[in-house]
Amino acid sequence: MNKLLASLIAGLFVSGAFAQAPAAPAVPAATPAVVKAEVKADKATAKASATEARIDAKADAKVEKAVAASGKAQAKAHDKASHTKVKADAKVAKAAPEDKVAAAAKAEKTDVKAEAKADKAVVNAVAKTDKVKVEAQADKANAAIASAAVKAEGKADVKAATVK
């Protein structure tokens, strides 16, 4: 029983000692230089974030425009090829019976050329769109890097102001 009582009393003294000790070291009050540096850093960060958002929006708009133009170009190419095929088939239908075989061969050749031309136009449109997408991603990445640099610079300025 004596041991139990002794440990309880010891615990009471230990808890009393902990209660009197400060919980955390005192933080020095912010100096005017620190406050000024924080305000300047916040302003620069806000400006950098706004610039990054503007660049991102511009890049997204460029990509949307390129995708729309690509779709239009592809549709135009397929439409032109289809129109060429219809014309060639009409010539075959109008051809005299003895010239039908030659006209059909010529129409088939025309169809293949029209299809190849349409495929080239599609490939070019897709390549152009991909190029715009890559450039937009690069613009976004550069904006993010610049924004992160401004934020880091602001943190460094605040840290430097606390040392002074």
| Domain locations in the chain as residue ranges | 56-164
SS3 31: coil
Check the CA dihedral 142-144-150-155 and report its sign: negative
Residue linked to tokens 């080239």: 120
Residue linked to tokens 């000692």: 17
Please tell me the predicted confidence (pLDDT) of residue 160.
87
Count CB atoms within 10 A of the CB of residue 48: 20
- In angstroms, how far is CA 109 from the centroid of its own chain? 45
Residues 68, 40: Cα–Cα separation, whole Å: 42
| pTM of the shown model | 0.67
Q: What is the pLDDT along the chain (164 residues), one digit of tens a residue?
A: 666 556 657 665 656 555 555 555 444 557 888 889 899 999 999 999 999 999 999 999 999 999 999 999 999 999 999 999 999 999 899 989 898 899 999 999 999 999 999 999 999 999 999 999 999 999 999 999 999 999 999 999 888 888 76
N-term to C-term CA, the chain? 60
Give the pair of three-digit tokens for residue 92: 């075959």
Please tell me the predicted confidence (pLDDT) of residue 129.
96
Residues 23, 85: Cα–Cα separation, whole Å: 86
Please tell me the predicted confidence (pLDDT) of residue 7.
64
Count CB atoms within 10 A of the CB of residue 135: 14
Q: What is the dihedral of CA 110, 111, 112, 113, to 10 degrees?
A: 50
Helix extents (H) in 21-99? 32-94
